Each structure stands twice: as structure tokens, then as C-alpha cells.
Amino acid sequence: MIRLATGGDLRALVELTRIYYKDHWFGGHTNYDADWTHEQFKGHIVSPQANVILKDDAEQGILGFSVAMVYPLQWTPQLRCTIAFSYIDEAHRSNGVYGALIDNHTLWAKKLNCVDINTGDGAQYKGKFGTVLQPLGFEHMGTDAYKVLQYE
């Protein structure tokens, strides 16, 4: 089940970001700060400009989570949805978890009339754009991936 994160999820989200941090390239030259991360999640969970969601399983707990934010595009009043951070537990990758999170972000972005959605080619996928983001309808541009949202 995909659901919005709540204050009750903060401890688990902070721990998952700690795991992500160790695997990410910046983990080797910066210091992880659990208290700062906790406060960031706390602010994002209540913000109307952020969508903090997670894939939850009654037996296995949180399988993954993702944070998207809405920003105005430069030089226009239109909005872009940026998937700023995602983490899928290693045991649950390649099982559709990321796609389900992206689908939820896409619906949220459409409710806000965003023109597109973008994300980086995440560290956990080690640059596997073609197998992860391209099947979800994204186009690769530089180090990011974009999908223009379609409205009927």
C-alpha cells in the first residue's frame, strides 16, 4: 500500500536515510546528521508543497519511500514536481515499488497542475536509467530524467 508518511514514521524514515547515505557518493565526504534529517522530514510531512509517501507492507514494514516537492519553473508561473529523494530497501528493488511511488507522485503533481516531473538518476540504481526510469516514461537529460505530464 502507498500512503502518506506521518509523524509516526519519522524514526523509520531517518533510519532508512542513514542506510541510503552510506551508499551514496556524498556519504564518503560529509557527515550524516540524524537530528537535522528528522526535522527536515517533520517539516516536509506537514508541507502542502511536499509529498512524502511510502510503500508499506503489513508484515514487512516500510519497503521504500520517496519525497517530491513542487517548485515554480524559472521565468514562468508554471510548476514542476521534483522527486528529490527516494529509497527502496535493497530486498524489494525490481519489484515495482519505485514505479508505484512515481505513479503516486505523478497523480499528486497533476492535482497541482504541474507541467512536468523530474528526478535524478538515483544513486541506488547506479545509473541504470534505461531499466528504471525509461520504462516509467522519463526522458534522460544530462544527469536528470524528465516526464512531461499529459492532461486530457
Q: Is 38 exposed, middle or buried (0-12, 13-18, 19+ CB in 10 A)?
A: middle
- Give pTM, 2 decimals: 0.86
In tens, the pLDDT along 43-90 reads 888 888 899 999 998 888 899 999 999 999 888 889 999 998 888 888
Distance CA 17, CA 89 (A): 11
Of 124, 118, 120, the residue nearest 143 (C-alpha): 120
Measured between alpha carbons, how far is residue 26 from residues 21, 30, 56, 74, 123 in Å?
Answer: 7, 6, 27, 27, 10
Distance CA 115, CA 134 (A): 18
Answer yes or no: are the C-beta atoms of 17 and 37 closer than 8 Å.
Answer: yes
Distance CA 126, CA 74 (A): 29
Which whole number is the average pLDDT over 97-122?
90
26: helix, strand or coil: helix
Which whole number is the average pLDDT over 82-100?
88
In tens, the pLDDT along 112-151 reads 999 999 987 554 455 666 677 888 888 887 778 889 999 9
Which residues have a Cβ under 8 Å from the Cβ of 40 and sit 6 or more positions away?
none
